[in-house]
Amino acid sequence: MPAQVSYSSTKAALLGFVKSVAAENITPRITANGALPVIASSGVLSMPQEIVDAWAGEIPNGLVGPADIAAAVALPCPPSAESVGGQFLTVDGGIWP
């Protein structure tokens, strides 16, 4: 697929950023975590539609939407999860078993 270099290098930079923020700033009330969504049906994709359609056909639950990503981001947010830091939740619609 095209655009893999820019996509994967940007995602790797964000992974490192979140891990560093978590390590340097974690306190009982401040944590840093991340979500790793697959292609989302957000309307802001800069990929050709045929690539989006090809990916969508591979995702068992269909394209991941903004509400799915928001729900995943909210998971480590309650006070009971204040010791969760530097973690990532994959929001992939079941594409990666």
Locate the domains of the chain by residue range: 4-91
Give residue 56's pLDDT. 77
4-91: CATH architecture: 3-Layer(aba) Sandwich (3.40)
* pTM of the predicted protein model: 0.68
DSSP the chain: -TTHHHHHHHHHHHHHHHHHHHHHH-BTTB---EEEE-SBSSS---S-HHHHHHHHHH-TT-SBPHHHHHHHHHTT-SGGGTT--S-EEEE-TT---
Kindly report, residue by residue over 24-63, the tens digit of the pLDDT. Answer: 987 777 888 888 887 766 655 566 778 777 877 888 887 6
pLDDT > 60? residue 1: no
The answer to whether residues 65 and 40 touch, using CB atoms and an 8 Å cutoff, is yes
